[in-house]
Structure 1
Amino acid sequence: MSEISSPSPSGPSSTPLYIDFDGHRTMLKWHRGRRRAADPAFTATRIVEGMRLGASIEVDLVIHADRGFAILHDRTVDQATTGTGAIASLPAAYLRGLALRDNHGNPLDERVLLLEDLTELFSDIDIAPTSILQLDFKEDDAALDPRAVDIFARSVEPLASHYILSCGDAAAVARLTAAAPGIRVGYDPCHRGAADAAIRSGDFDGFVARALAASPDAEMIYLENRLILAADRRGYDLVGAFHRHDRLVDGYTVTRIGPDTVPEIKRLLQLRVDQITTDDPEGLAALDLERTPSSRGARLVRWVRRTAGSGRSEV
């Protein structure tokens, strides 16, 4: 049986922080700062709430014209905000003046955040000891320059121990984390077709070896759920392989929650993933994992779409 509970004595017992299943704790990561499916992405309200309650939260980073980092997913602001244009050409002052949009496109009373703003945002709250904010850099090492690296380092320095950097480019991970002592290190080896290649070839040992060699300091490895489950169907425990090298594993991304997703979610828990990235932590925490659905062919994972020629996952 599974048990849903909260490590934060100050938070409600229903706070979706983790699932205890068969003696193993799996964190529920609030993808793009969402606590529930209806939440818009990257709002200060949810990010602050999660940091106070002890959540694992993820936000994305894209470099803006002043060489700092906007907390947004896309390279343009047109869909997610009230502004227009490519983030690379927009200055910090313009970005800070934009409002975020909800999931239906309506403007919110929530401003676009920059990485530099987080220290001030967190200055008046008690951050729970277990809180961790994943900074998922959506670009690569070629996008970085000394000014961007310096801004990153200065932005994260006050709360470095509560941050973990992730990226699909190991060189970018190494460059940014070297400049920011105390920050935790993560790596996503699924980019640039690597997950698809491993599924086609079945060379999961090689996949693990290449990931470890590319980012030897990473404590958390981010894996597509479809890759974890494809390996499992072939009798290969990809999570266990990384555990044997003392790495934690995050499985991403559970986007849809319902009875027909139970078998695959339960299998991820049985494989002892350390964290599940989800757009609906509350829905996942409330799921009846003992229910056996009658439908077959459940699909919980997002098939990763890749921008032609870009080599980056749209996650």
Structure 2
Amino acid sequence: MSISTVSDLQIEYLDHPVRLKWHRLRRQLTDPLFSLDVMRAGFSLGASMELDLRVRADGGFVVLHDEALDGETTGRGRITEKSPDDLRDARMRDGDRALTFSEDLAAMLQSAHPDALLQFDMKDDYETIGEKGIAHLAAHFQSMNASVIVSGHCLDLIVAVKEKLPHLLRGIDPTDTLIDIYRQGGLKAVEKSLLAVISGPTEPDTVYLQWSLLLQAARDGLDMVSLCRSEGKRVDAWTFTLKNPAGGFSDAEWHDFSALMALKPDQITTDEATATARAWSNRMAG
């Protein structure tokens, strides 16, 4: 086995580069959730990063995962009912920080490294976001140095993004559906369903698939990564995070991660990019 480059941005293995995507703007789990400092660092380096967006009452967005403020912030109530003014006094519980709005992201993206990739994982569906939300994205993300990819479970939303913001990349995550199909209909049904969704009206650039699903399917005889790549789609394998970052891979983790790398996904999502790159280098060094 050979390796050419390793960093917390990318591992190159057998001449195939695999980006390490920083999940929820974390290079490591000790970083604050959705850290602007981490995002700034990623923008300067050209990293691939992911954050979650929830729509506000005015059609703009705030960087949060949950539909209500109560868990991640000091605020209370549903985000869809809140204006920007309602949200300005709320603080992130992790680090006592102000919330980040989509307007902030648009401004920061202007100075990002051209290799940077920022994933907007949309947690609301198209019915909730509506034309007002799509118009907000169009108004604020028309031109930027870095790439933005909009992803979500709601296919109607991704189609709307394609129609109104064709310059943005698009991603879909059919994992939950495929797991159900796997249980009920077997591998052939999974293959048929995956082909149908990636060739459907969303016209995705990237398909997000759970790493354990990819490995199980490969063991049973279906290389889902190769299937997607044969259709011109990139694959993101989510979310592989070391249980003991300081200690590196356990034997079981090494077995799974090396098998995942052998499938040659385009990207692996992780909460521990720095530790994963270090652990890979240590294992490859013997």
Q: Using a 3 Å threshold, how does the CA distance of structure 1 residues 233 and 290 change in structure 2: closer, same or farther?
A: farther
Q: Report matched runs for 1:1-315 at 5 Å.
A: 1=1, 3=3, 5=5, 15-102=7-94, 107-108=95-96, 110-123=97-110, 125=111, 127-159=112-144, 162-191=147-176, 193-200=177-184, 201-202=186-187, 203-257=189-243, 258-259=249-250, 260-288=252-280, 291=283
Q: What secondary structure, in the 3-state scheme, does the structure 2 residue paired with 1:211 have?
A: helix
Which one-letter code corresponds to 1:159 in the other structure?
M
Q: Using a 3 Å threshold, how does the CA distance of structure 1 residues 129 and 279 change in structure 2: closer, same or farther?
A: same
Q: Using a 3 Å threshold, how does the CA distance of structure 1 residues 232 and 19 change in structure 2: closer, same or farther?
A: same
CA RMSD, Structure 1 to Structure 2 (Å): 2.1
Number of residues of Structure 1 aligned to a counterpart in Structure 2: 276
- How far has the Cα of 1:101 moved from its partner? 2.4
Q: Gaps spanning 5+ residues in structure 1: where?
A: 7-14, 293-315
For the residues of structure 1 that align with 2:269 and 2:4, how far apart are their CA atoms?
16
Which one-letter code corresponds to 2:11 in the other structure?
I
Q: What secondary structure, in the 3-state scheme, does the structure 1 residue paired with 2:142 have?
A: helix
For the residues of structure 2 that align with 1:92 and 1:143, how far apart are their CA atoms?
17
Does structure 1 conserve the Cα–Cα contact (< 8 Å) formed by 2:116 and 2:146?
A: no
Q: Which moved more, 1:77-86 or 1:271-280?
A: 77-86
- How far has the Cα of 1:128 moved from its partner? 1.4
**TM superposition score normalised by structure 2:** 0.89
For the residues of structure 2 that align with 1:270 and 1:91, how far apart are their CA atoms?
47
Q: What secondary structure, in the 3-state scheme, does the structure 2 residue paired with 1:217 have?
A: coil
Q: Percent identity?
A: 29
Which one-letter code corresponds to 1:185 in the other structure?
R
For the residues of structure 2 that align with 1:217 and 1:54, how far apart are their CA atoms?
25
Higher relative contact order (CA 8 A, sep 6+): 2
Does structure 1 conserve the Cα–Cα contact (< 8 Å) formed by 2:4 and 2:15?
A: no
- How far has the Cα of 1:68 moved from its partner? 1.2
Q: 1:313 is matched with which residue?
A: none
Q: Gaps spanning 5+ residues in structure 2: where?
A: 244-248
| Structure (1 or 2) with the greater helix fraction | 2
**TM superposition score normalised by structure 1:** 0.81
Q: What secondary structure, in the 3-state scheme, does the structure 2 residue paired with 1:145 have?
A: helix
